[in-house]
Amino acid sequence: MKKYALILAAGKGTRMRTELPKCAFPILKKPMISYIMENIEKSTIDETCVIVGHKKEVLENILGDKVLYAYQAEQLGTGHAVLAAEPVLGDKEGVTFILPGDMPLMEYPLMDKILRSHEEMGNDLTIVTMVMEYPKTYGRIVRDEYGLVTAIVEENDCNETQKLIKEVNSSVYVVNNKLLFEYVKKIKRNERKGEYYLTDIVKLMHQEHKVNTFIVRNPMVTMGINDLYGISIAEKYLRDSINKSHMLNGVSMVNPETITISHNAIIEPGVWIYPNSVILGNSIIKAGAIIGPNAEVNDSIIHEKAEIRHSIVKDSEVGENTTVGPFAHLRNHAIIGKDNRVGNFVEIKNSTTGEHTKAAHLIYIGDSEVGKNVNFGCGSVTVNYDGVKKHKTIIGDDVFIGCNVNLVAPIKIEDNVFIAAGSTVTEDVPKGSLAIARNKQINKADYAKHLIKAKE
């Protein structure tokens, strides 16, 4: 039996107060719909269709060709949204797993468990429900005297007795695919809201088909996000869950409540993470590395025993036993070798360095290839931009670059070169040379006293 996922993601999400479609809004800097898709891809689901509408191109850019698309031009409720998928899924045999695109916390083991339960119990429709002590705003699961589900009644349509029901609808369903579109077409427009409620399918199906529930023990995993406060709750849940998993795997965290790690980051046992640190994207942190305090690592690889303190590392790689920071910035594919020192207020962009290279303070290295055993003096700069194009600097091994040196690219500094402090070097320097590129100093005797008199 084939399994399909149908993600309802056409809504504007006006309560988010953003121009983005709601399902594209980031959680821990990743679109919430990406969490859903990553879990679907790990599940037993064979194919996914996404209902898009408001700013559909944004979601299409996120999901690409991994999914099929159906378009809901006008948002007239969840039943109307499902009906929009008929041209894509209507002729397919199997079951359809329906879930909202604002539900990023449900993981693939639970998805598979729900699908398995639907099949084993022989259900035609499975409603995923949860029991809540204070169920306000949720649709109530109404049962008859035999305990069979007969309807889902929305909060505003509940009578006083129904409002006391604590089993509520999560808006997740598994439905026999052929029956789904047959019965969605029978849903009538709600007079009060002018929408077609998918929940009405229960009342239509229960007399002739087997309708059952799957109760989720932790309501957080079926939490729908409607506003920015909801985003903060989801982020806290994800952060705590991710951090717990890493700590149980041997990652040491100091004040883990201040540490944020992305869903996709890989962190090996033996890593230490200090307060106020952020590890995002597909970052990989190797054993023995130290991250923080106050560090951000984004889509980067940090090798064994490297240290990143009070610094930002983005789209880059830091070699074994290298120290970065405080207040350094590595970006745009900076690849730093083993046993390097990248110190205070150093920026390295789109550059590589060899082993045992040091850039201790107040340095910019851009678009450069730097060899091993190179020392950058304070204030030295690779001048890579001429106002129109970026140019490359190549520096060999065992080079000493004095303080306040400008290397004006394109330029090549060969091995065993010494560049005098204060030099602005515009030509290649051959191997073993001393380069001095500065004006001759002139001392004017007794001249200072004339300046003092002029000030008076």
Q: Which residues does the annotation mark as catalytic?
A: 361
Beta bridge mates, 312: 296, 329
Instruction: Say how far apart CA 147 and CA 37 lie, in whole Å.
Output: 35
Contacts of 119 (CB under 8 A, 6+ apart): 1, 95
* CB contact at 8 A, 178 and 195: no
Instruction: Say how far apart CA 10 and CA 70 lie, in whole Å.
Output: 9
Taking CA atoms, 259 is separated from 140, 240, 286, 417, in Å, by 38, 9, 17, 44
H/E stretch holding 230: helix 228-248
Segments in 67-107 forming alpha helices (H): 78-83, 86-89
H/E stretch holding 229: helix 228-248
Beta bridge mates, 318: 302, 336
DSSP state of 111: H
* CB contact at 8 A, 51 and 84: yes
Nearest in space to 342 (alpha carbons), one of 394, 272, 295: 295
DSSP state of 199: T
Nearest in space to 347 (alpha carbons), one of 387, 312, 397, 392: 312
Residue 439 CB: number of other CB atoms within 10 A?
7
Q: Is the dihedral of CA 12, 18, 19, 25 positive or negative?
A: negative
Contacts of 452 (CB under 8 A, 6+ apart): none
Beta bridge mates, 7: 50, 99
Instruction: Say how far apart CA 317 and CA 328 lie, in whole Å.
Output: 14
Query: In the block, which residue shows the tokens 């039996």?
Result: 1
H/E stretch holding 211: strand 211-216
Contacts of 14 (CB under 8 A, 6+ apart): none
Instruction: Say how far apart CA 345 and CA 104 lie, in whole Å.
Output: 38
